[in-house]
A and B are shown apart, each in its own frame.
Chain A
Amino acid sequence: MAAETEQHGERADQIRDYIDRIPPLSTTVTKVLEVCNRPNTSANDLNKIISFDPVLTGRVLRLINSSFYSLPEQVSSLTRAIIMLGINTVKNLALSTAVARTINAMQSQQLLPSDQFWTHSLTVGLTAKALAARTGVDDRAHDDFFVAGLLHDLGKMPLLQCFAADYASALQTAREQQIPLYRAEEQMFGFHHGWVGQEIGERWKLSSTICECMGGHHDVSKGPRESQGVVATVALANSFACHESIGFAGDSFPDSEQMSQALQFLKLAPADMEQLKQTVQPELEKAQAFIKVL
Chain B
Amino acid sequence: MNPDPDIIVKFWGVRGSIPCPGPTTVRYGGNTPSIEVRFPKEGNRLVILDAGSGIRELGLNLMATQLPKGPIQADIFLSHTHWDHIQGFPFFTPIFVPSTTLKVWGARTHDSEGLDQTMGDQMSYRYFPIRGVELAARIEYLHLQEGQVDLGDGIILHTHYLNHPVLCLGYRFEYRGKVLCTSFDTEPYRNLFCTDPNDPDYDAAVAREAESAVREQNEAADRFMTGADLVVYDAQYTQAEYEAGKLGWGHTPMEYACRAGVRNQVKSLALFHHDPLRTDQHLDELALKHCEPGAYGPTEIFFAKEGMSVVI
Interface residues of A (CB under 8 A from B): 42-45, 47, 63, 66-72, 77, 79-80, 82-84, 86-89, 139-140, 142-143
Contact = CB atoms under 8 A, between A and B. Distances in A.
B192 A82 contact: yes
B93 interface: no
Contact of B210 (A45, A67, A83, A139): A83
A286 to B, nearest CB: 11
Contacts of A43: 192-194, 210
Contact of A77 (B108, B209, B214): B209
Contacts of A88: 165, 248
Contacts of B192: 43, 82-83, 86-87
Given A83-B210, A86-B165, A63 B248 contact: no
Interface in B100-155: 107-108, 111, 143, 145-147
A43 B190 CA distance: 12
A79 B194 contact: no
- Top 6 nearest A-B pairs by Cβ distance? A43-B192, A70-B145, A83-B213, A44-B201, A68-B108, A80-B213
Contacts of B64: none
A66 B193 contact: no
A42 B196 CA distance: 13
Contacts of A86: 163-165, 192, 248, 250
A68 B209 contact: no
Nearest to A89: B165
Nearest to A90: B192
Contacts of A63: 111
Contacts of B165: 86, 88-89
Contacts of A42: 194, 201
B285 interface: no
A142 B205 contact: yes
B191 interface: yes
A84 B193 contact: no
B269 to A, nearest CB: 25
B119 to A, nearest CB: 16
24 contacts: A44-B193, A44-B203, A66-B111, A67-B145, A68-B108, A68-B111, A68-B145, A69-B161, A69-B167, A72-B146, A79-B210, A82-B192, A82-B193, A83-B189, A84-B213, A86-B165, A87-B192, A87-B248, A88-B165, A89-B165, A89-B166, A140-B209, A143-B205, A143-B209
- Determine which residue in B167, B189, B213 has the highest number of CB atoms from chain A within 10 A of its CB, and name it: B213
Contacts of B191: 83
A70 B147 contact: yes
A87 B250 CA distance: 11
A99 B107 CA distance: 27
A72 B217 CA distance: 13
A42 B165 CA distance: 16
Contacts of B26: none
Contacts of B164: 86
B206 interface: yes
Contacts of A83: 189, 191-192, 210, 213-214, 217
Nearest to B209: A79
Contacts of A47: 193, 206
B145 A80 contact: no
A67 B214 CA distance: 23
B167 A68 contact: yes
B189 to A, nearest CB: 6
Nearest to B166: A89
Contacts of B143: 68
- Determine which residue in A47, A71, A80, A83 has the highest number of CB atoms from chain B within 10 A of its CB, and name it: A83
A77 B193 CA distance: 14
B114 to A, nearest CB: 10
Contacts of A140: 209
A66 B108 CA distance: 11
A93 to B, nearest CB: 10
Nearest to A139: B205
A86 B187 CA distance: 11
A86 B214 CA distance: 11
A154 B1 CA distance: 63
Contacts of B203: 44
A70 B143 CA distance: 12
Given A44-B206, A83-B217, A140-B209, 18 more contacts: A42-B201, A43-B192, A63-B111, A66-B111, A68-B111, A68-B145, A69-B161, A69-B167, A70-B147, A79-B193, A79-B210, A80-B209, A82-B193, A83-B189, A83-B191, A83-B213, A84-B217, A89-B166
Nearest to B145: A70
A69 B209 contact: no
Nearest to A92: B165
A146 to B, nearest CB: 10
B248 to A, nearest CB: 7
A143 B107 CA distance: 30
B111 A44 contact: no
A82 B209 CA distance: 11
